[in-house]
A and B are shown apart, each in its own frame.
Chain A
Amino acid sequence: NAGVTQTPKFRVLKTGQSMTLLCAQDMNHEYMYWYRQDPGMGLRLIHYSVGEGTTAKGEVPDGYNVSRLKKQNFLLGLESAAPSQTSVYFCASSNLAGAQGSEQYFGPGTRLTVT
């Protein structure tokens, strides 16, 4: 049981390049989330999904797109990377919605640098 995995672990992009971060979970969770973590800023929600085929905007969605074509996968895309998107990205999943009190299981993170 791998839990939540993320690919890649590290990536360096040049400004304007695009990339996709992959999150996979094997716990059959309905809810999946993408966060970014910056020093002193905590965890900020980018986008989330409440089930296969659904996506919704979080606190900081600009510059990112997501897709949830399969229940176990949640993809985060950067169409035209900017230095402001340099961050550590965490994916998480849970079997209940936030307010229902379910633990969010986090992936190991992806460290992205945009030069």
Chain B
Amino acid sequence: GENVEQHPSTLSVQEGDSAVIKCTYSDSASNYFPWYKQELGKRPQLIIDIRSNVGEKKDQRIAVTLNKTAKHFSLHITETQPEDSAVYFCAASFTGSYQLTFGKGTKLSVIP
């Protein structure tokens, strides 16, 4: 089955700096890659996603890039703010699958 590796497990950045979280996936047939944000004590919520026919997608301060050849995708957060502090999960799904496979999460701390 699908396997998704996520790095780093924890990340601390100064407010205003950029943060990058990387994920690799095992199944070359994977075609959908969402990112979820989970604030402390809250439910996960989708923040951005990308499909395999697109190399990059941006939404204000966040962007996701996909390298299908290397089977990895990354989340980029620019001009980080304290409210960006949360756990971020990447996920992947392959053609024909009903489910998502999640990475183990990255705890991002933005230091004011």
Contact = CB atoms under 8 A, between A and B. Distances in A.
A72 B96 CA distance: 24
A90 B44 contact: yes
B105 A31 contact: no
Interface residues of B, number: 27
B105 A107 contact: no
Contacts of A50: 98
A108 to B, nearest CB: 5
Contacts of A100: 32
Interface residues of A, number: 25
A56 to B, nearest CB: 7
B51 A101 contact: yes
15 contacts: A40-B105, A41-B104, A42-B103, A42-B104, A59-B1, A98-B32, A98-B99, A99-B32, A99-B93, A99-B96, A99-B97, A103-B34, A103-B46, A106-B44, A107-B43
Interface of B: 1, 6, 9, 31-32, 34, 42-46, 49, 51, 89, 93-105
Interface of A: 31, 33, 40-45, 48, 50, 56, 58-59, 90, 97-101, 103-104, 106-109
